């Protein structure tokens, strides 16, 4: 590295860096250089590269030649600024700031006013004719240097400051006079000596090297490490360091400092937006001690500076072609830009800005699409907690279904329905939900469960309904007898208000203010653009005509999964379903099924109608039958109640029989047991009824002139022979119905691939299946051997310890489950070249999983209605990324 360049100067008339050098100079350094190149006034300075940081952290030593380059840069800085670093009649003070490749706001350290010492403070006091300003700057510097560079607790300096104010009977820092500040400076130096065993370093060059080291080291402080983890920032990037001449916003009424955005970061509207303070330093704006003024009023306060600022922000936005977040300081009427970067923005603003910039000709549609994070779209479709509200979560669970909700606590589904009927807003709080709770879930504003993961019943159903859900909130303890629950130290009674945020997993006691984002015309526009570039189809998981309609409005191109079991839970159906399950003989089972037939047919008619012209994949019954029965404890309670009131023997016997059946069907892990096509193999009459209902519905609509495209899907197949057996039944029933009705329906038979054995033998299975749909919920559970309902007990620890990066039930595990998917696709298409393949697990609406689906050659993804727009955007990103790759 001996001849390498480690230091890049900016400002004056020779700037060495530029915007494209972010990897080396960090975002801040590269943009400072770019501004200098554009002729925008920035305080001069230099950037030490992130490469040096990496080497320094590794070897605890600098590369050869670095010190020489720093000395040369200081000399040039002295030349450009006309000031001298160290003791002089015109001393140069500098700031030393971190600046990584991507912005990590507030995560690393900064030192301001470096170069101050016992001599320069006197000179500054004299030159500015403002001793108070000089000593105030000195005491601020000692605090920052002590804290950041020497590692002394900030509290120690704060304590001395408070004591000083107390002894003088003043409350604000600004009320301290110069003598008090001088005393504080002496006290602070003593604190430093006491804590470090050494005197405060008076030499400016020594201060500088110590500060540079400290900023490099702050790359590895806990805050920064956590932030990197959360934002997937590699640890080996390191941070650059920017050393820059200080400018002062606190030099009187013609000085000031502020932050601003070139467009409104909340709404995206094209207006200069921001705030400033007169006679203040940057940290005063951030600290919130004084209330900043809106930027528009700067026009009256300092008109010349404001005019220049307006010109600069327009220039910056045009140059970077994106909304900028800028920081500026005005020193005695002269404007300096301290920073510019692409501004963070809300989801609504991101979309508006992208569309507006295309219209203004600043960017093209593809750039606009890539600027919109698909995850952000989800936020636009659900109510959310007003970001202005400052709230504390009483407990945190899994963010299972996005959006926020407020309502009164209810503990049972029936109660939820009753309360909702009388106009109350409720949150259903359950240990876990079962299909029986569907009515209550529908009536509730949101759902909170103590147990269950991202693919638990509550999560899947809530997402389907577009309702907020916090699942697996293990810190909540329900005491159902006393109708209360506990969350930490809080006790919450039934009927009390709570709020949940299904986007963060937070439970908040009480009512929080919600805001409902408007679905704007701009959103429709960007989704249309997404459709123009994507090649991956997007379908929906929907079980009711209403869900199907919502999904169509969101742009779904068919149904990828209709879970027929959800149709079994209607109020008038559950008794018939139970009758079917309780039946001892095939004949009595068929009798119950005959009652279900017209109901199912009606459902399919509704769904086909809503999806006219698009494919509808209907999965035959999948869950284990005991899910349709009351649970054992409930049946037991009922039995005891009947016995207590001396009910007639036949009534008691009925309940006893239910209990026997429950006992018989009970399984240790029902997700692996007697379900899926195993039901079809053992009780063929159930699937027969369903196929009859599907084909009859299709015939009915076909007679009305509609184009119906049913795809009958067999769940949980592990062996091709299972599929062969069930397929035979399906074909027979379908042919019989079509013959009877005299109608020909073009239907398909396919299967879900949701067990490893199915993926491994996909070539054989594809000979029988006309389509595949990867059920990645079950495939994840069976590949990992994690139960999808109780993995929540240990998954947080797995993520905490970095065994897994994400919950694999939410974000597809590409290196494990993904490999099985690739294998399944390759093998499947090896025996059926045109095999249509989709995915319908919860991952079908998760952006990174959608992008994976595109890469491995899926034809479509299928997800809950509210995630359809997210999937459309993610699919567009996938296509654009591929286009970029092909260019390289």
Query: Where on the chain is the footprint of ligand PEP (CB under 6 A)?
Result: 460, 561, 563, 622, 754, 775-778, 840-841
> In this complex, which beta carbon is closest to Mg ion, that of residue 565 or of residue 778?
778
The distance of closest approach from Cβ of residue 361 to Mg ion in the complex, given in angstroms and rounded to an integer, is 48
> In this complex, which beta carbon is closest to ligand PEP, that of residue 356 or of residue 543?
543
User: Which listed range, 30-38, 88-96, 488-496, 749-757, lies at the site for Mg ion (CB under 5 A)?
Assistant: 749-757
Signed CA dihedral, 477, 805, 861, 349: sign only: positive
User: Which listed range, 105-113, 304-312, 751-759, 869-877, lies at the site for Mg ion (CB under 5 A)?
Assistant: 751-759
Task: Fill in the DSSP letter of residue 515.
Answer: E
Which among 837, 834, 855, 844 is positioned nearest to 812, based on CA atoms? Answer: 844
User: Which listed range, 287-295, 546-554, 645-653, 769-777, lies at the site for Mg ion (CB under 5 A)?
Assistant: 769-777
> In this complex, which beta carbon is closest to ligand PEP, that of residue 113 or of residue 776?
776
> In this complex, which beta carbon is closest to ligand PEP, that of residue 445 or of residue 627?
627
The distance of closest approach from Cβ of residue 435 to Mg ion in the complex, given in angstroms and rounded to an integer, is 14
Pairing of strands 91-92, 293-294: unpaired
Residue 543 binds which one of ligand PEP, Mg ion, none, with CB within 5 to 8 A depending on kind?
A: none
d(CA 463, CA 740): 39
Which one of 53, 382, 415, 457 is the catalytic residue? 457
Which among 386, 419, 413 is positioned nearest to 499, based on CA atoms? Answer: 386
Contacts of 198 (CB under 8 A, 6+ apart): 192
The distance of closest approach from Cβ of residue 421 to Mg ion in the complex, given in angstroms and rounded to an integer, is 33
Residue 841 binds which one of ligand PEP, Mg ion, none, with CB within 5 to 8 A depending on kind?
A: ligand PEP
The distance of closest approach from Cβ of residue 776 to ligand PEP in the complex, given in angstroms and rounded to an integer, is 5
- Decide: is 775 part of the binding site for Mg ion (CB under 5 A): yes
> In this complex, which beta carbon is closest to ligand PEP, that of residue 100 or of residue 469?
469
> In this complex, which beta carbon is closest to Mg ion, that of residue 450 or of residue 671?
671
d(CA 668, CA 670): 6
**Helical packing angle, 776-784 and 817-831, nearest 10°:** 120
- Decide: is 754 part of the binding site for Mg ion (CB under 5 A): yes
> In this complex, which beta carbon is closest to Mg ion, that of residue 284 or of residue 565?
565
Beta bridge partners of 484: 479, 493
The distance of closest approach from Cβ of residue 567 to ligand PEP in the complex, given in angstroms and rounded to an integer, is 13
User: Which listed range, 490-498, 502-510, 531-539, 750-758, lies at the site for Mg ion (CB under 5 A)?
Assistant: 750-758
> In this complex, which beta carbon is closest to ligand PEP, that of residue 445 or of residue 842?
842
Which helix (H) or strand (E) segment holds residue 252: the answer is: none
Residue whose pair of structure tokens reads 């400052």 in the numeric block: 390
490: annotated active-site residue: no
d(CA 722, CA 730): 12
Residue 561 binds which one of ligand PEP, Mg ion, none, with CB within 5 to 8 A depending on kind?
A: ligand PEP
Residue 99 binds which one of ligand PEP, Mg ion, none, with CB within 5 to 8 A depending on kind?
A: none
Residue 494 binds which one of Mg ion, ligand PEP, none, with CB within 5 to 8 A depending on kind?
A: none
> In this complex, which beta carbon is closest to ligand PEP, that of residue 45 or of residue 464?
464
- Decide: is 502 part of the binding site for Mg ion (CB under 5 A): no
Q: What are the helix (H) ranges across 534-631? A: 545-553, 574-582, 586-610
Say how many C-beta atoms besides its own lie within 10 A of residue 830's C-beta.
12
d(CA 882, CA 879): 5
DSSP three-state, residue 861: strand
The distance of closest approach from Cβ of residue 686 to ligand PEP in the complex, given in angstroms and rounded to an integer, is 16
Residue 398 binds which one of ligand PEP, Mg ion, none, with CB within 5 to 8 A depending on kind?
A: none
DSSP three-state, residue 222: helix
Give the tokens for residue 133.
Answer: 């300003």
Give the DSSP letter string of 257-326: EEEEESS-TTT--SS-EEEEEES--HHHHHHTSSPPEEGGGHHHHSHHHHHHHHHHHHHHHHHHTS-EEE
> In this complex, which beta carbon is closest to ligand PEP, that of residue 450 or of residue 812?
812
The distance of closest approach from Cβ of residue 754 to ligand PEP in the complex, given in angstroms and rounded to an integer, is 5
d(CA 556, CA 611): 9
The distance of closest approach from Cβ of residue 381 to ligand PEP in the complex, given in angstroms and rounded to an integer, is 21
Which among 513, 440, 435, 499 is positioned nearest to 470, based on CA atoms? Answer: 499
Q: List binders of Mg ion among 229-288 (CB under 5 A).
A: none
- Decide: is 453 part of the binding site for Mg ion (CB under 5 A): no
415: annotated active-site residue: no
Question: How does 344-356 read in b/e, with b if 16+ C-beta sit within 10 Å?
Answer: ebbbbbbbbbbbb
Which one of 473, 562, 840, 863 is the catalytic residue? 840
**Given its phi and psi angles, is residue 5 left (phi above 0), alpha (psi -120 to 50 degrees) or beta?**
beta
DSSP three-state, residue 710: strand
The distance of closest approach from Cβ of residue 721 to Mg ion in the complex, given in angstroms and rounded to an integer, is 20
The distance of closest approach from Cβ of residue 342 to ligand PEP in the complex, given in angstroms and rounded to an integer, is 37
Residue 840 binds which one of Mg ion, ligand PEP, none, with CB within 5 to 8 A depending on kind?
A: ligand PEP
Which among 763, 771, 760 is positioned nearest to 727, based on CA atoms? Answer: 771
Residue 563 binds which one of Mg ion, ligand PEP, none, with CB within 5 to 8 A depending on kind?
A: ligand PEP
Number of residues that bind Mg ion (CB under 5 A): 3
Q: List binders of Mg ion among 777-796 (CB under 5 A).
A: 778
**Given its phi and psi angles, is residue 198 left (phi above 0), alpha (psi -120 to 50 degrees) or beta?**
beta
Q: What are the helix (H) ranges across 170-203? A: 178-196
Give the DSSP letter string of 445-468: SEEEESS--TTSHHHHHHHHHT--
Q: Which residues are catalytic?
A: 457, 840
Binding site for Mg ion (CB under 5 A): 754, 775, 778
């Amino acid at each position: 590295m001996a001849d390498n360049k480690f230091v890049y100067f900016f400002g004056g008339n020779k700037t060495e860096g530029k915007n494209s050098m972010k990897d080396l100079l960090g975002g801040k350094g590269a943009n400072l250089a770019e501004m200098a190149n554009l002729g925008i006034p920035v305080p001069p300075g230099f950037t030490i590269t992130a490469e040096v940081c990496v080497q320094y952290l590794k070897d605890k030593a600098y590369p050869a030649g670095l010190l020489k380059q720093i000395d040369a840069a200081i000399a040039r800085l002295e030349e450009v600024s006309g000031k001298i670093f160290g003791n002089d009649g015109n001393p140069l003070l500098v700031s030393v700031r971190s600046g990584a490749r991507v912005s990590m706001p507030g995560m690393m350290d900064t030192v301001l006013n470096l170069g101050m010492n016992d001599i320069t403070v006197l000179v500054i006091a004299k030159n500015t004719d403002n001793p108070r300003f000089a000593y105030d700057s000195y005491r601020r510097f000692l605090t920052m240097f002590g804290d950041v560079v020497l590692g002394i607790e900030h509290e120690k300096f704060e304590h001395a400051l408070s004591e000083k104010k107390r002894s003088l009977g003043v409350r604000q820092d600004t009320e301290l006079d110069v003598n008090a500040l001088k005393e504080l400076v002496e006290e602070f130096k003593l604190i430093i000596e006491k804590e470090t065993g050494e005197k405060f370093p008076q030499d400016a060059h020594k201060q500088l090297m110590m500060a540079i080291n400290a900023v490099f080291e702050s790359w590895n402080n806990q805050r920064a490490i956590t932030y990197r983890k959360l934002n997937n920032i590699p640890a080996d990037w390191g941070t650059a360091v920017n050393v820059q001449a200080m400018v002062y916003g606190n030099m009187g009424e013609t000085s000031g400092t502020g932050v601003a955005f070139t467009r409104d970061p909340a709404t995206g509207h094209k207006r200069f937006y921001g705030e400033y303070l007169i006679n203040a330093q940057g940290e005063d704006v951030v600290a919130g001690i004084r209330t900043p003024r809106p930027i528009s009023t700067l026009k009256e306060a300092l008109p010349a500076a404001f005019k220049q600022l307006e010109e600069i922000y327009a220039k910056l936005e045009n140059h970077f072609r994106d909304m900028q977040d800028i920081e500026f300081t005005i020193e005695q009427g002269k404007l300096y830009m301290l920073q510019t970067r692409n501004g963070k923005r809300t989801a609504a603003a991101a979309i508006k800005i992208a569309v507006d910039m295309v219209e203004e000709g600043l960017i093209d549609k593809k750039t606009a699409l890539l600027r919109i994070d698909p995850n952000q779209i989800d936020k636009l479709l659900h109510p959310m907690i007003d970001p202005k509200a400052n709230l504390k979560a009483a407990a945190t669970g899994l963010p299972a279904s996005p959006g926020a909700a407020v309502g009164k606590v209810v503990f049972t589904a029936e109660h939820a329905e009753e309360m909702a009927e009388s106009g109350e807003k409720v949150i259903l709080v359950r240990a876990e939900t079962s299909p029986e709770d569907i009515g209550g879930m529908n009536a509730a504003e949101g759902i909170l469960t103590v147990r269950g993961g991202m693919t638990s019943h509550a999560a899947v159903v809530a997402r389907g309904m577009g309702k907020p859900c916090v699942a697996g909130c293990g810190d909540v303890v329900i005491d159902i007898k006393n109708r209360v629950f506990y969350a930490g130290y809080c006790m919450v009674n039934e009927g009390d208000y709570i709020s949940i945020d299904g986007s963060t997993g937070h439970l908040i006691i009480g009512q929080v203010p919600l805001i409902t984002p408007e679905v704007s015309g701009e959103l429709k526009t960007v989704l249309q653009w997404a459709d123009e570039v994507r090649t991956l189809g997007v379908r929906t998981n929907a079980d009711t005509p209403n869900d199907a309609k919502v999904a169509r409005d969101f742009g779904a191109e068919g149904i990828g999964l209709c879970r027929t079991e959800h149709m079994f839970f209607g109020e008038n159906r559950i008794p018939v379903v139970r009758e079917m399950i309780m039946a001892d003989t095939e004949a009595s089972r068929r009798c119950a099924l005959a009652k279900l037939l017209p109901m199912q047919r009606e459902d399919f008619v509704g769904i086909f109608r809503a999806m006219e012209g698009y494919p509808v994949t209907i999965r035959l019954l999948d869950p284990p039958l005991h899910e349709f029965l009351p649970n054992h404890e409930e049946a037991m309670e009922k039995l005891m109640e009947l016995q207590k009131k001396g009910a007639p023997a036949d009534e008691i016997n009925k309940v006893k029989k239910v209990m026997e059946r429950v006992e018989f069907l009970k399984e240790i892990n029902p997700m692996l047991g007697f379900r899926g096509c195993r039901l079809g193999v053992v009780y063929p009459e159930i699937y027969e009824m369903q196929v009859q209902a599907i084909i009859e519905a299709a015939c009915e609509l076909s007679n009305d002139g509609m184009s119906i495209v049913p795809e009958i899907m067999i769940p949980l197949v592990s062996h091709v022979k299972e599929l062969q057996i069930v397929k035979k039944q399906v074909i027979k029933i379908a042919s019989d119905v079509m013959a009877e009705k005299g109608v020909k329906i073009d239907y398909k038979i396919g299967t879900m691939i949701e067990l490893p054995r199915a993926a491994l033998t996909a070539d054989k299975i594809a000979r029988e299946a006309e389509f595949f749909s990867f059920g990645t919920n079950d495939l994840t559970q069976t590949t990992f051997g994690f139960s999808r309902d109780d993995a929540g007990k240990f998954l947080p620890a797995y993520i905490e310890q970095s065994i897994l990066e994400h919950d694999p039930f939410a974000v597809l595990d590409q290196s494990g489950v993904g490999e099985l998917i690739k294998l399944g696709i390759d093998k499947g298409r090896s025996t059926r070249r045109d095999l249509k393949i989709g995915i319908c697990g919860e991952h079908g609406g998760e952006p990174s999983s959608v992008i994976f689906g595109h890469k491995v050659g899926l034809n479509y993804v299928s997800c809950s209605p509210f995630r359809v727009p997210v999937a459309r955007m993610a699919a567009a990103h996938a296509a654009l990324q591929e286009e970029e790759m092909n260019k390289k």
